[in-house]
Amino acid sequence: MLYAIIAIMGLGIVDSYFISFLGTAELAAIAMIVPITLLITSVGLGLGMAISSLNSKLIGANKMGSAARLITDGFYLTGLVSVTTTALLIWQLEPIFIAIGADATTLPHIRAYMDVWIFSAPLTMYTMVSANTFRSIGDTATSAQIAITMTLVNLILDPILIFGLGPVPALGMPGAALATVIATIVSFVLGIYRLAVSEKLLLAALPVWREFKQRSGQLIEIAIPAMLANAVVPLTAALLTRVVTEFGTGAVAGYGVGTRIEAICLILVYALSSTLPMFIGQNLGAGKFDRVAEATTLAFKFVLVLQLGIYFLLIISAPFIAGIFSDQESVQTTIKLYLWIVPLSYGLSGIVILINVAMNVLGKPRLALYINIIRLALFYLPFAIIGAKLFGLNGLFIGIALGNLLAWILALHLLKKTFRELSVPVNDRLLLKA
C-alpha cells in the first residue's frame, strides 16, 4: 500500500509541478480545485470504507458468498450516489468556487479544468471503492496496481496534453484535466475487470429489492458518517484556502503546494490507514481482540517517530522545495513558512487519521464524524483564523498545528472508551495513555 499511496500523492504533485509552468494564476486555480476533487474522493472513500468494513468481517468469518453479494450491492449503491453527487456539483460549480475565493484571475482557469474533469467524477468514486474492496479481501497488490496505473498514465499524458507534442496541441489546464480523466478510466476498467473476472466478486444476478434495501441500509449507516467525516477534510481545506486568499494569489499558490507536500509527508500514515482497518475487521470477525490492540498501539508509536524525523528533514529542505515550485518570492515565502511550522504536528494528525478509519470498522462511524467536526469547528479553523488575524500567515499555520494537537487528545480519549466497550485490551504503558 505504500507504493499505492506514493502513486496517489505523486499524482497531485505531478499536476502541480507541470501546471506551475503555466503561471501563478493557474497554480492558484489548481490549489482551489483540490478541495473539490478531494470531496469527490471522500464520497468514494466513504462508500468504500462501508463496503470494506462489513466485508472484512465476513472474510474473517469465512462467509465468501455473503461477501460477494455485499460487494455487488455496494457497487449498485455507488452508481446511484456518484451520479447524484456529480449532478449536484455541476449545478452549483461556479458558486462553490466563488465561495472558496475564486476571482476574475483564477475562475477562468478553474472552469477550463473542471469542465473536462467533472464527468469523470463517478469513475473516480468507483476507483476508490474498488481499491478498498481489494484491501478488505487481503489483496493489497491489486489495490496498489489500480493506484499506480492511474498515476503512471497521468504522468505520461500530463506534459503531452498540457504543453503539446507533435500533432497533439498544447491544451493547458484542460489538458491537465484530460490526462487525469484518461488515467481514471484506465484504472476503473482495471478494477472492475479484476473484481468481476479474476475474483468473481461482482455477481451477474440482480439483487432482490428487499435484500438490496436491507444491505444498502447497513452500508449507508456506515457510509454517510464516513463520507461526512472524510468530507470535513476538503471542507476545511476550502475554508482555509478562503482565509489564505486575503494574503494574495502568491500565498494561495504557496499554500496549495504546502498541502501537496503534506500529503507526501503523511504517505506512510495513509498506507497504514488503508490496511489497519482491514486488519482490525478481520481480527474482530475472528475474535482475536489482543491483535487489534497490539497493532493499533504499534502503529501509533511508528507514526510519531516517523513524523518527527520528517519534520527535521523539512526544516532543512524547505528553501530548496520552495525554489522547485516557483521563483516568485511570495510563493516561496508561504511554502517555507508552511513547512517550518505545520509539519511539527504531523505525528498527532497521523494518529487522528488512523483513529478515524479504525472507528468505522469498530462499529463507531459517528464517532469518526464527531472527531472531524469538532476538529474543524472548535479547533482547526478558529485557531487558524485567530492566528491569521493576529500574526498573519505565521499565526494561521501555528493555529493549524494547535488544532491538530487538540484533535489528537480528543480522538485518543474516544478510542480508549471504544476499546473498553468492545472488551479490546487497552495497554496504558504504550500510547493509549491519554
> Coil, strand or helix: which one is 168?
strand
Question: Once rounded to an integer, what is the mean pLDDT over residues 228-240?
Answer: 72
The answer, yes or no, to whether residue 433 has pLDDT greater than 50, is: no
Cα four-point dihedral sign 261, 264, 54, 416 = negative
In the chain, DSSP finds a helix count (H) and a strand count (E) of: 16, 0
What would the pLDDT profile of 326-355 be if each residue is shown by its tens digit? 778 888 888 899 999 999 999 998 999 899
What would the pLDDT profile of 369-378 be if each residue is shown by its tens digit? 888 888 887 8
pLDDT, residue 141, reads: 86
Burial of 423 (0-12, 13-18, 19+ CB in 10 A): exposed
Angle among Cα 411, 282, 196 to the nearest 5 degrees reads 115
Cα(26)–Cα(108) distance, integer angstroms: 9
Question: Once rounded to an integer, what is the mean pLDDT over residues 151-169?
Answer: 90
Helices (H), 140-208: 140-163, 173-193
- The per-residue pLDDT of the chain, averaged, comes to 85
Cα(93)–Cα(101) distance, integer angstroms: 13
Question: Once rounded to an integer, what is the mean pLDDT over residues 150-170?
Answer: 90
pLDDT, residue 255, reads: 86
Question: Once rounded to an integer, what is the mean pLDDT over residues 134-147?
Answer: 85
pLDDT, residue 434, reads: 41
DSSP string across 153-167: HHHHHHHHHHH-BTT
pLDDT, residue 156, reads: 92
The answer, yes or no, to whether residue 22 has pLDDT greater than 50, is: yes
Question: Once rounded to an integer, what is the mean pLDDT over residues 126-131?
Answer: 88
Question: Once rounded to an integer, what is the mean pLDDT over residues 397-414?
Answer: 91
- Domain locations in the chain as residue ranges: 2-421
Q: Which three cell numbers stand for residue 154?
A: 497521468
What would the pLDDT profile of 57-97 be if each residue is shown by its tens digit? 787 777 777 788 888 888 888 888 889 988 988 888 888 88
pLDDT, residue 230, reads: 67
pLDDT, residue 188, reads: 92
